Chain A
Amino acid sequence: MEGSSLNLTLKIWRQKNAQDSGKFATYNVSDISTDMSFLEMIDVLNEQLITKGEEPVAFDHDCREGICGMCSMYINGRAHGPWNGTTTCQLHMRAFKNGETITIEPWRAGAFPVIKDLVVNRSAFDRIIAAGGFVSVNTGNAQDANALPIPKDDADASFAAAACIGCGACVASCKNSSAMLFVSAKVSQLALLPQGQPERIDRVLNMVKQMDEEGFGNCTNTGSCEAECPKEISLDNIARLNREYLFATLKK
């Protein structure tokens, strides 16, 4: 498809480091091809800034194909921008109009402190996984993979939950900065599989405990997380997490 080109105004959050209070800066970019990805547009801006002797905008990105979960950015009030089911790296400039002003902010959450500009620290997610998001099976302990048939529906539902890329869009878009969708995806993935059963109760208790300690907010079931999730992880998982947690509390 033949693209056209855009001139845009960018309002970008600039913050030198975690201690700095930060502020918005405004930049203009021109001749942006609609075939570019959003991050390629930022590349163009950065090249412009470096050539002018200014500091480029720091932002997280790596695979640029929508799977590593590293890219973030709150674009015009939306996590990963206006397209549903899409990460920022897969958002293309076709989504914007010529002359538009685009406001770009980092993920905002107490549990995701800003490191620099648009880069935030999401290690809270790693700590939640370390608290229980695994099956305790040492290397070499496994039986034959086909020894335990798993109903296709369960395997598919588990996969749908496991598709989470840990980008944090759920936290960023939730009005309460709640991490429930992230936690529920991992809890669901393992609760749906026979391999996850032995540690089912401890897993949910420990992961929720860690989630609370990290300072995320509480879920009020607004559904923004599901709407903004680039992998379209379902709210069903949150209901399942609630169920698992209630059940675990009654049992332990």
Chain B
Amino acid sequence: MSSKLDAKIPEGQLETKWSQYKSSVPLVNPANKRSLHIIVVGSGLAGSAAAASLAEMGYKVKVFCFQDSPRRAHSIAAQGGINAAKNYQNDGDSVYRLFYDTIKGGDYRAREGNVYRLAEVSTSIIDQCVAQGVPFAREYGGLLSNRSFGGTQVQRTFYAAGQTGQQLLLGAYSALERQIGLGNVEMYSRHEMLDVVQIDGTTRGIIARDLVSGKLERHFGHAVLLCTGGYGNVFFLSTNAMGSNVTAAWKAHKKGAFFGNPCFTQIHPTCIPVSGDHQSKLTLMSESLRNDGRIWVPKAQNDTRKATDIPEEERDYYLERRYPAFGNLVPRDVASRAAKERCDAGYGVGTSKMAVYLDYASAIERYGKQQATKIGEHNADKKRITELGKEVVKEKYGNLFDMYAKITGENPYEVPMRIYPAVHYTMGGLWVDYNLMTTVPGLYALGEANFSDHGANRLGASALMQGLADGYFVIPYTIGAYLSTQIREKAIPTDHAAFVEAEQKVQATLDQLMNIKGTKPVDYFHKRLGKIMWDKCGMARSESGLKQAIADIRALREEFWKDVRIPGAQNELNPELEKAGRVADFIELGELMCVDALNRNESCGGHFREEFQTEEGEALRDDDNFKYVSAWEFKSTGNFELHKESLIYDRIKVSQRSYK
């Protein structure tokens, strides 16, 4: 293990690590909390939850988000649900099982200590959210309802229709707004963090740009929490929001924070396929649809018949065929690759031939029969059964079906939906220790912005769990370990030389961007970057492809800094300038992702190297050589140094992942 990396995982039994650590971590007394300033960047689940919890404890908190309101953070778009080891269904779930599923789902590339803690606090999250008034789905008896998700064999997913992320975020947002109303949090919306400020190697604040006036601002903090989400938009087309970006994390990386496992990206199997060159983003159809939908392609190549004209025996339910134990509920990486394999082999459907069917016909029939029995219509004919079945499906998935119909103009109750994998989540992120602190003192990363808990692949309904765990139940304890050493540090005035210098650098970069006055809009470069990344660092990667990608990205970077055109001025609301800064960072990150993917000579989870696969086309891991976290140190643009954090499995026997 690199000497620069200390994961600080507490000693002791896995089951008691966290509780013992909580009892021994240093505390900050209430009077001192009042004079400690914390900056939270990002207002999603991790950011809002952390900001509200820390403000409740008495810290002085400032929150920054680039949207017009903290309620808009992209956590809001999570659909399916949130996992918790409540075992309300009496189906044998436990903290250990959630821990085990998460490690296995992550293809044995996550830390045992962190993941066990995550599973352990998962139950408190549900309690907290219900107490906030989050309207989870309930059974007729008034108790909470659960459903199943990919990669698990128990029902542990709590949900609120197809809007779970929205409801959880609004819960955290309301807690945050309460603290804003009480004066404990100062909110800075329409602000973007453009650099961290360090004094003697310690984090002391940030430089932020007021996106409305264009003015740069300096803000002091004893600690800075980056809760800025993932970097899926490096691919241009992803299910991320248009504004989701890596800038805050990347600036931190350039100031010394190591970047962990950047190549681990999750491709979600059930997205609406690309319809043309105009496409600006991709829309996810919740994984919960795989509960009842069956995925298939025609058995014949280049079959041009309509889906409904293809008889049952000429359909290939390839997931059920290849993975009988988990069927359509295999983890996301497996399902995505299987779809790509079929389409590449010429079995794809739709005009682009880059799609597979997600079919609800048999679910409609099954539910219809159940419903007919339930309401006593024992002689219901086929038409009536279909009608009843559609009603049930509408109640369960209506909003998703409506969304599909709006986007594609097709009626998914009548014809199978077409789906294709799309970039959805990034398991990689800033490297953090057990306390969620990066390699820079006082600088933390929470939620999707850090690399910590999902290994090489995230299970469905675990992102919400991790974001809220970090924000509500981890950082409030672990931050004490650092802040207890800061109680003698007075707030540093922002006219300090370090702030002035940091602001000048940010200003210089903005000036440089504005002065290029080239010929191409920012999106032109972003789309090209996205194409390079998707083709060469997407669902399948190869040595030659990655080397080519690195060369292409470097050339693109040069071109970007010579030829980008940013209209308007700096001192006003200027979305093109915002985008330009973000794309500049994405270009640099894209290179690091390829470097990381090239280094990892194995296939695991979301990282699939064509050279490393079994004869059946499954991912082939190399635990002897790659059972480590890659933590990259920024040396200079395009120059990164690798540090390795070995992964030690005390409790889990590392084995080849099988969902057959």
Residues of A bordering B, CB below 8 Å = 1-3, 16-17, 33, 35-37, 39-40, 43-44, 46-47, 49-51, 53-56, 58, 60-70, 83, 85-86, 90, 92, 94, 115-116, 119, 121-123, 125-126, 129-131, 133-146, 148-152, 155-156, 158-159, 162-163, 165-166, 189-190, 193, 195-196
A-B contacts, 20 of them at CB < 8 A, read A1-B410, A33-B278, A40-B278, A44-B278, A51-B519, A56-B576, A62-B72, A62-B241, A68-B72, A116-B572, A126-B71, A138-B53, A139-B128, A139-B472, A149-B142, A162-B160, A162-B167, A162-B170, A165-B166, A195-B132
Cβ contact of B177, chosen from A129, A156, A190, cutoff 8 A: A129
Residues of A within 8 A of B67 (CB): 62, 68, 70
Cβ contact of B187, chosen from A2, A43, A126, cutoff 8 A: A126
Interface hub of B76, B137, B161, B189 (most chain A Cβ within 10 A) = B76
A142, B406: Cβ atoms closer than 8 Å:
no
B51-66 vs A, Cβ < 8 Å mask (1 yes, 0 no): 0110010000000000
B538 interfacial contact with A, CB 8 Å: no
Residues of A within 8 A of B408 (CB): 1
| Minimal beta-carbon separation of B116 from chain A (angstroms) | 20
A68, B77: Cβ atoms closer than 8 Å:
yes
Tell whether A139 pairs with B56 under 8 Å between CB atoms, given A126-B69, A155-B136, A195-B132. yes
Report the contact-size class of chain B (Cβ under 8 Å from the partner).
35 or more
Taking CB as reference atom, which chain B residue is nearest A125? B69
B143, A142: Cβ atoms closer than 8 Å:
no
Tell whether A67 pairs with B76 under 8 Å between CB atoms, given A135-B174, A145-B86. yes
A62, B74: Cβ atoms closer than 8 Å:
yes
Q: Which of B404-455 touch A at CB < 8 Å?
A: 406-410
A64, B280: Cβ atoms closer than 8 Å:
yes
Cβ contact of B76, chosen from A63, A136, A141, cutoff 8 A: A63
A1, B409: Cβ atoms closer than 8 Å:
yes
Docked CA distance A23–B14 (Å): 65
Cβ contact of B128, chosen from A1, A35, A137, cutoff 8 A: A137
Taking CB as reference atom, which chain A residue is nearest B79? A67
Taking CB as reference atom, which chain A residue is nearest B134? A162
Cβ contact of A116, chosen from B49, B70, B573, cutoff 8 A: B573
Residues of B within 8 A of A55 (CB): 567-568
Cβ contact of A43, chosen from B129, B178, B278, cutoff 8 A: B278
Further pairs besides A137-B131, A149-B138: 18, Cβ < 8 Å: A17-B573, A33-B275, A49-B567, A51-B519, A56-B576, A65-B403, A67-B163, A67-B165, A90-B407, A126-B180, A126-B187, A130-B180, A134-B132, A139-B49, A140-B472, A158-B135, A165-B166, A195-B130
A134, B174: Cβ atoms closer than 8 Å:
yes
| Minimal beta-carbon separation of A116 from chain B (angstroms) | 5
B72, A142: Cβ atoms closer than 8 Å:
no
Residues of B within 8 A of A85 (CB): 402
B119 interfacial contact with A, CB 8 Å: no
A69, B409: Cβ atoms closer than 8 Å:
no
Residues of B bordering A, CB below 8 Å = 49, 52-53, 56, 67-74, 76-77, 86, 88, 124, 126-144, 160-161, 163, 165-167, 170, 173-175, 177-178, 180-181, 187, 189, 212, 239, 241-243, 275-276, 278-281, 283-284, 351, 402-403, 406-410, 472-473, 476, 519, 521, 523, 565, 567-568, 572-573, 575-576
Taking CB as reference atom, which chain B residue is nearest A2? B351
| Minimal beta-carbon separation of B257 from chain A (angstroms) | 26
Tell whether A122 pairs with B178 under 8 Å between CB atoms, given A63-B74, A66-B403. no
| Minimal beta-carbon separation of B275 from chain A (angstroms) | 4
| Minimal beta-carbon separation of B178 from chain A (angstroms) | 4
Docked CA distance A142–B143 (Å): 16
Taking CB as reference atom, which chain A residue is nearest B173? A129
A35, B351: Cβ atoms closer than 8 Å:
no
| Minimal beta-carbon separation of A26 from chain B (angstroms) | 19
| Minimal beta-carbon separation of B124 from chain A (angstroms) | 7
| Minimal beta-carbon separation of A45 from chain B (angstroms) | 12
Docked CA distance A143–B127 (Å): 6
Residues of B within 8 A of A56 (CB): 567-568, 575-576
A61, B242: Cβ atoms closer than 8 Å:
yes
Residues of A within 8 A of B241 (CB): 62-64, 68
| Minimal beta-carbon separation of B294 from chain A (angstroms) | 22
Tell whether A92 pairs with B407 under 8 Å between CB atoms, given A62-B72, A152-B142. yes
Tell whether A145 pairs with B126 under 8 Å between CB atoms, given A47-B521, A64-B241. yes
A58, B567: Cβ atoms closer than 8 Å:
no
Docked CA distance A112–B305 (Å): 52
| Minimal beta-carbon separation of B355 from chain A (angstroms) | 13
A155, B131: Cβ atoms closer than 8 Å:
no
| Minimal beta-carbon separation of A176 from chain B (angstroms) | 23
